[in-house]
Structure 1
């Protein structure tokens, strides 16, 4: 395995992590904690792959149901059992940032395995392009569904409501991941379906980011500051 192959495998994940990280404009998360979450995402990729092995015989069942369920839960487990419990997780947007970090760590290891296999079959370029444009950002789109739910649940006092948000977010992410995998099984029709799916998924992703930023205590404080300024400076 050469260095350039590692760069190809991790480059898309690092780019998308940079992209999501800079969306958090009110209170950016500690970079060390984001990187640690990325590493945790990398670490959970192997156990997830091992859990999928007993279902290798099942074909479509593995691709559409088993793999999405195992992979989304693995990434969710990493965030919910580590950074979610820390003081730094103090804004709704944090759920999106840390979910993206875990997802991209996971996707980067998965990417490396796919590219190693593709290199041995002389199909490295198309596999790299397909995964960089679809699979890697797909992991972000799926996982930030439950990430946004975690970001909201953290600030809900009712325990039943917390659990409902977390569980519904996780199940929705699994369903989206499964639909993505199903569409990817088909050629022309599947490619068109993926483009439509990703278009709406990106719109949903950006809407969740704007909602999370709007719910931030920093946004509220800034709004109050501007209001006080306007009140103290009436028009002539």
Structure 2
């Protein structure tokens, strides 16, 4: 049995969120954002986890189905919570001056929430066994933690495009991006919920959905970077 100190577990649980925040930050090759703003959004993402959990808990009082909570309620509440952080604390900032910024800011806030969520899941596993905690860290570092950034990069890109689009088109662009992020988040959760029931759910999750999310994020990033080069 592996013996590992709780402090080490905490550092390992936080590591994936920090790494993926660094990754998305460095995808902005031409005009990186101020590190202080990225850290601020990351920490606000951590803090927004609490009202998000409260709202989800409230809905849980009336909805008995874990499937509905995980596939419908959680994606809507979590994506809107992350979106609210960026919309409130970054959208009007002078540093938000190109579509790529929307992706970077969205990923930062998303990974703050994902990091606290990861700590909770990892320590829940740690109570059972340190080995299970380590396995949880590895699996979530590859899928769940970056998943939050990938979902939110969809509405982040939409928000970035909207800011530099005619005013009458902005609400539609943002709504489409936010709705798509919620749907993708819901599909992600549905496949995880179905893994023990549907034989091919995990195959679809690993071989179709996860690569598809990365392809979509990469396409949006490339599109945003082209906008930077052409302006």
Q: TM-score surpassing 0.5?
A: yes
Query: Partners of 1:9 and 1:185 in 2: how far apart?
Result: 22
Query: Partners of 2:40 and 2:138 in 1: how far apart?
Result: 27
Q: Structure 2, unaligned stretches of length 5 or more?
A: none
User: Alpha-carbon deviation of 1:190?
Assistant: 2.1
Query: Partners of 2:98 and 2:178 in 1: how far apart?
Result: 19
Q: Rg: which structure is higher?
A: 1
1:98-140: CA deviation from partner (whole Å, max 9, x where unpaired): 0000000000000011111111122212221221111001001
For 1:1-236, list aligned pairs within 5 A.
Answer: 2-56=6-60, 57-122=64-129, 123-158=132-167, 160-187=168-195, 188-195=199-206, 196-216=208-228, 219-220=229-230
1:189-220: CA deviation from partner (whole Å, max 9, x where unpaired): 2221111101111111101000000011xx12
Please state whether the residue corresponding to 1:97 is helix, strand or coil. Answer: helix
What TM-score do you get using the length of structure 2 for normalisation? 0.91
User: Alpha-carbon deviation of 1:5?
Assistant: 1.8
Query: Partners of 2:134 and 2:202 in 1: how far apart?
Result: 18
Give the RMSD, CA atoms, in angstroms.
1.2
User: Alpha-carbon deviation of 1:55?
Assistant: 3.3
